[in-house]
Amino acid sequence: FRPNQGGPTLCPPESSASSRQTLSTMRQLYEKDFPVYKQPVEVGSFSLDSERRFFNDARQIRYYVEPPPRPKFDLRDGYKDRFVKRDDGVKEKLDHILRWILANKSKLQSSVAAASSSPALGVDIVTWRGHLTKLLTTPYETREGWLLAATLFRGTLYLSEVETEASRLDRVNCNERHQEMMYWGYKFEQYLCADDIKGSPNPGGVVNTNEAFCTVVQTKLADHKLLFSGEVDCRDRGPKAPAAPACYVELKTSAEICTPKQRSNFHRFKLLKWWAQSFLPGVPRIVAGFRDPDGLVIGTETIHISKISHLIKNESNCWKPTVCMNFCCEFLSFVRTVVREDNPRVVHLFSWDPHQDVTYSVHRDSTYCFLPPWYVEGMTS
Ligand code: 0WD
Ligand code: CA
């Protein structure tokens, strides 16, 4: 097998990378050695406040507070009267990251060799961590496809997700039960996070999903220099806490595990997503709250990211980290061979549906354009 065996006219097996039209997502193709993935380094952070305004600082950071051994966290509390939900119909694309880049332009560029062939920013790819998570899990995804818009500007490739019609329908038709369950994750955070380093959580407060603290990290996947940002739930506040991103803690909720079948499903499906999301930025641990069907958390467990691969080893037909990383790496190579025109007004739209190959289409001056004029002007001046 070789990645990307398209139709014979488009892509004979011996065709060079530059003539590839599609990319296969078949798992077997990616069962190779784990690619080099450099330890992610935090290069900055930013905050979004209760009105979703951007700040080039860490004002929204929260501190992890150990839960009691037998918690009784009611995740339904406050859903009706103390919940401010972000308007997810507003598509922010890469805007917050771009604002951060502009605000830190000199810091980023100063670390780059003056060679004219290298990208002006000193990185090959700029995107959200969440987009990379989707790429990592693609070889194992059987339900939801994705659309990723790519634009090459001053030698750097920007990747920004486009909502699929299927996910738009899921979003607008989301039923009441599901809406409430999406709140549970945020409510759990409120039980475990303090706003101040010496403070305590305030479960009586308002949950506002506009608020976010985001880390910006730089790393390298094989020969791809990456700069991406991801939302971080909280940090370790102990005196011996390591430097970011190793001090960060990801918080998750999941249904209680009562049967061997449930445990197996948790390993095979949920841990894949959890691992991919935290491994990428170098967040070392997850604190998971296990809840009953009424939204009551009665136990928590710390899961170390580095131990997940051992946890899943006994599972038959399970996912493999190397497949995830190799697919992501090959996808980025594929995009970089396809997108050659350096132009903020050109978008290559990469599209994937389960059980299909990745394909793409080209769009000029279209509604898919996502690099705003203020960014293009700010980077050019
Ligand atoms: O507009 C879009 N298409 C996207 C916007 C796609 C992905 C992310 N975002 C925004 C989010 O609103 C958030 O501010 O980017 C930021 C987070 O980026 P990320 O860290 O790259 O995203 P991801 O890893 O998918 O999610 C991290 C956390 C989630 O935690 P859980 O534990 O549920 O995975 O960010 C939050 C959520 O807490 N989050 C969101 N919050 C509000 N609206 C959203 C969203 N659409 N997506 C993720
Ligand atoms: Ca979380």
pLDDT for 112 equals 58
Q: Which string of DSSP letters, residue by residue, matches 127-184? A: EEHHHHHHHHHGGG-SS--EEEEEEEETTEEEEEEE--HHHHHHHHT--HHHHHHHHH
For residue 57, pLDDT over 60 is answered with yes
Average pLDDT of the chain is 94
> Looking at ligand 1, which atom is closest to the CA of residue 230?
20
pLDDT for 13 equals 42
Signed CA dihedral, 287, 292, 298, 299: sign only: negative
Each residue of 268-300: pLDDT tens digit?
999 999 999 999 999 999 999 999 999 999 999
pLDDT for 249 equals 99
> Across the strands, what pairs with 348?
150, 362
pLDDT for 10 equals 40
**pLDDT band (50, 70, 90) for residue 16:** very low
Each residue of 25-54: pLDDT tens digit?
999 999 999 999 999 999 999 999 999 999
Q: What is the pTM of this model?
A: 0.94
pLDDT for 20 equals 75
Please give the residue that has the higher pLDDT: either 30 or 6.
Answer: 30
pLDDT for 109 equals 79
**Locus of tokens 């479960």:** 203
- Ligand nearest to C-alpha 64: 2
* CA-nearest residue, atom 26 of ligand 1: 130
What amino acid occupies position 56? Answer: N
284 lines ligand 1 (CB under 6 A): no
Helix orientation angle between 129-137 and 321-338, rounded to the nearest 10 degrees: 110
* CA-nearest residue, atom 7 of ligand 1: 130
pLDDT for 118 equals 79
Each residue of 105-163: pLDDT tens digit?
999 876 655 555 678 899 999 999 999 999 999 999 999 999 999 999 999 999 999 99
pLDDT for 196 equals 98
Ligand 1 pocket test: pick from 188, 231, 283, 305 the residue with the most ligand atoms within 8 Å of its Cβ: 231
Terminal-residue alpha carbon distance, the chain = 47
**Locus of tokens 């050695």:** 33
What amino acid occupies position 150? Answer: A
Closest C-alpha among 353, 289, 248, 302 to residue 70: 289
> Across the strands, what pairs with 152?
157, 342
pLDDT for 19 equals 57
For residue 256, pLDDT over 50 is answered with yes
> Looking at ligand 1, which atom is closest to the CA of residue 277?
24
Supply the ipTM of this predicted assembly.
0.94
* CA-nearest residue, atom 31 of ligand 1: 252
Each residue of 335-348: pLDDT tens digit?
999 999 999 999 99
